Amino acid sequence: MGYRIGVILGDGIGPEIVREARKALDAVCAKYGHHFEYEELLLGGASIDVHGVPLTEETVAAAKGCDAVLMGSIGGDAKTSPWYQLPPERRPEAGLLGIRKALNLFANLRPAYLYDELRAACPLRDDISAAGFDMLIMRELTGGLYFGARKTEEVDGVCVATDTLSYSETEIRRIAKRAFDIAMKRRKKVCSVDKANVLDSSRLWRQVVEEVAKDYPEVALSHMYVDNCAMQLVMNPAQFDVILTENMFGDILSDEASMVTGSIGMLSSASLNETKFGLYEPSHGSAPDIAGQDKANPIATILSAAMLLRYSLDLDEEANALEAAVRQILKEGYRTGDIMSEGCTQVGTREMGDLIAARIME
Per-residue string for binding with ligand IPM, 47-86, x by CB under 6 A?
A: ----------------------------x-----------
Could you report how far apart the first and last alpha carbons of the chain are, in Å?
21
Single out the residue of 9, 41, 96, 103 in contact with ligand IPM (rule: CB under 6 A): 96
Q: Which residues bind Mg ion (CB under 5 A)?
A: 251
Shortest spacing between CB 255 and Mg ion, in angstroms: 6
Shortest spacing between CB 47 and Mg ion, in angstroms: 20
Burial 52-61 (b: 16+ CB within 10 A, else e): ebbbbeebbe
Shortest spacing between CB 251 and ligand IPM, in angstroms: 4
Catalytic entry in 23, 167, 195, 216? 195
Phi, psi torsion values for 308, nearest 5 degrees? -60, -45
Catalytic entry in 23, 67, 115, 146? 146
* Catalytic residue status for 64: no
Distance CA(203)–CA(205), nearest Å, equals 5
Shortest spacing between CB 93 and ligand IPM, in angstroms: 4
* Catalytic residue status for 195: yes
For residue 78, how many other CB atoms are within 10 A of its CB? 12
**Per DSSP, what are the bridge partners of residue 37?**
4
Residue 73 · residue 21 · CB < 8 Å:
no
Shortest spacing between CB 5 and Mg ion, in angstroms: 24
| Cα 119 → chain centroid | 22
Task: Reduce the DSSP state of residue 194 to 3 states and report it.
Answer: strand
Single out the residue of 283, 312, 336, 349 in contact with ligand IPM (rule: CB under 6 A): 283
Taken in order 285, 289, 291, 294, the sign of the CA dihedral is negative
Catalytic entry in 67, 194, 241, 251? 251
Catalytic entry in 134, 163, 255, 354? 255
Q: Which is nearer to Mg ion, 251 or 318 (CB)?
A: 251
Q: Which is nearer to ligand IPM, 117 or 140 (CB)?
A: 140
117 binds, among Mg ion, ligand IPM, none (CB under 5 to 8 A by kind): none
Residue 262 backbone class (left: φ over 0; alpha: ψ -120 to 50; beta: rest): left
Nearest residue to the partner Mg ion, using Cβ: 251
Shortest spacing between CB 96 and ligand IPM, in angstroms: 5
93 binds, among ligand IPM, Mg ion, none (CB under 5 to 8 A by kind): ligand IPM
* Catalytic residue status for 67: no
Q: 248: Cβ–Cβ under 8 A, 6 or more apart, which residues?
A: 144, 145, 146, 165
Phi, psi torsion values for 301, nearest 5 degrees? -75, -40
Shortest spacing between CB 74 and ligand IPM, in angstroms: 7
Residue 351 · residue 333 · CB < 8 Å:
no
Nearest CA-CA partner of 196 in 158, 263, 150, 246: 246
For helices 349-361 and 14-32, what crossing angle results, to 10°?
A: 10
Catalytic entry in 227, 289, 314, 316? 227
The Cα angle at residue 101 between residues 97 and 106, in degrees rounded to 5 = 105
Q: Which is nearer to ligand IPM, 75 or 278 (CB)?
A: 75
Residue 269 · residue 301 · CB < 8 Å:
no
Per-residue string for binding with ligand IPM, 237-276, x by CB under 6 A?
A: --------------x-------------------------
The amino acid at residue 272 is: L
Q: Which is nearer to ligand IPM, 45 or 75 (CB)?
A: 75
* Catalytic residue status for 334: no
The amino acid at residue 211 is: E
Single out the residue of 11, 20, 93, 246 in contact with ligand IPM (rule: CB under 6 A): 93
Residues at the interface with ligand IPM (CB under 6 A): 75, 93, 96, 251, 283
Which residues are annotated as catalytic?
146, 195, 227, 251, 255
